[in-house]
Amino acid sequence: MRIRCPICGDRDLREFTYKGDAVALNRPGPEAAAQAWDDYLHLRRNPAGATRELWYHGGGCGAWIVVTRDTVTHEILGAVLAEEAEA
């Protein structure tokens, strides 16, 4: 598997580590309801199709990126820097 890092270009999977769904970017405020925190921390969709997920290019430039990937075909539909990703 290869991921196109927005900074480094097309790179081998082994340079990256996986965190999970990109929902982790939408951190609720400290006053948010318990349900919102529960959703943020624990609830994840498991789609057959496109999913947005966080990868860390720790073996490369050190960027956190949001990769859109099809869970059925493994096709990678795009990758953007986490700092520029829409939450």
Partner 1 sequence: MADLIARSPCMGLLPLEQGGVSVTELDPGPMTLVAPYKGQAAALSKAMKVAHGVGFPAANTTETGKGVEAAWFGRDQALLIGAVPDAALADHAALSDQGDAWAVVRVAGEGAEDVLARLIPVDLRDSAFPPGRSIRTQIGHMAGAVTRLPDGAVRLMVFRSMAGTLVHDLDRAMTHCAARGTG
Partner 2 sequence: MRIAGKGLIDRDTPVHFRFDGVAHQGFAGDTLASALLAQGVRLMGRSFKYHRPRGVLTAGSEEPNALVTVGQGAHADPNVRATVQEIYDGLEAHPQNAWPSLRYDLLSLNDLAAPFLSAGFYYKTFMWPRAFWEKLYEPVIRRAAGLGALSGQPDPDAYEKAYAFCDLLVIGAGPAGLMAALTAAEAGADVILCDEDTRSGGRLLAEDEEVDGQPGHAWAQALTDRLRAMPNVRVMRRTTVTGVYDQGTYGALERVGQHLPHRASLPRACFWRIVAKRAVLASGAIERPVAFPNNDRPGIMTAGAVRAYLNRWGVAPGRRVVVFGNNDDAHRTARDLVAAGVHVAALVDSRHEAQASDAYPVHAGAVLCNTQGRLGLESVTIRTAKGEERIAADTLAMSGGWNPSLHLTCHMNGRPVWRDDIAAFVPKPDMVPGLIPAGACHGAFSTHACLEEGRAAALRALSELGMTAKDVPLAEAEDAPVSLRPLWQVLGKGRAWLDFQNDVTAKDVALAAQENFCSVEHMKRYTTQGMAPDQGKNSNVAALAVLADATGRSIPETGTTTFRPPYTPVAIAAMGAGAEGKGFAPERKTTSHAATVERGAPMIEAGLWYRPSYFPDPGESHWRQSCDREVRMVRESVGICDVSTLGKIDVQGPDAGRFLDLVYTNMMSTVKPGRVRYGLMLREDGHVMDDGTAARLSEGQYLITTTTAAAGQVMAHLDFVAQGLRPDLDVRLASVTEQWAQFAVAGPQSRALLDGLLDAPLDPEAWPFMACGPVKVMGIAARLFRISFSGEHAYEIAVPARYGDSLFRLLVARAEALGGGPYGMEALNVLRIEKGFITHAEIHGRTTAFDIGMDRMVSAKKDCIGKVMADRPGLKGPEREQLVGLRPVGESKEMTAGAHLFEPGTEPVRVNAQGYVTSVGFSPTLGTMLALGFLRNGRARHGERVKLKDHLRQVETLCEVCDPVFFDPDGGRLRG
Residue from 59, 68, 70, 76 in contact with partner 1 (CB under 8 A): 59
Task: Choose the contact partner of 61 out of partner 2, partner 1, none; CB within 5 to 8 A by kind.
Answer: partner 1
Residue from 3, 22, 63, 66 in contact with partner 1 (CB under 8 A): 63
The upper half-sphere exposure of residue 85, i.e. CA atoms within 13 Å in the direction of its Cβ, equals: 24
The full DSSP string for 18-66 is EEEEGGGG-PPPTTS-HHHHHHHHH-----SSEEEEEEE-TTTT--EEE
Which residues contact partner 2 by CB under 8 A? 1-3, 10, 12, 17, 19, 24-25, 27-30, 32, 34, 37, 41, 54, 56, 58, 62-64, 73-76, 81-83, 85
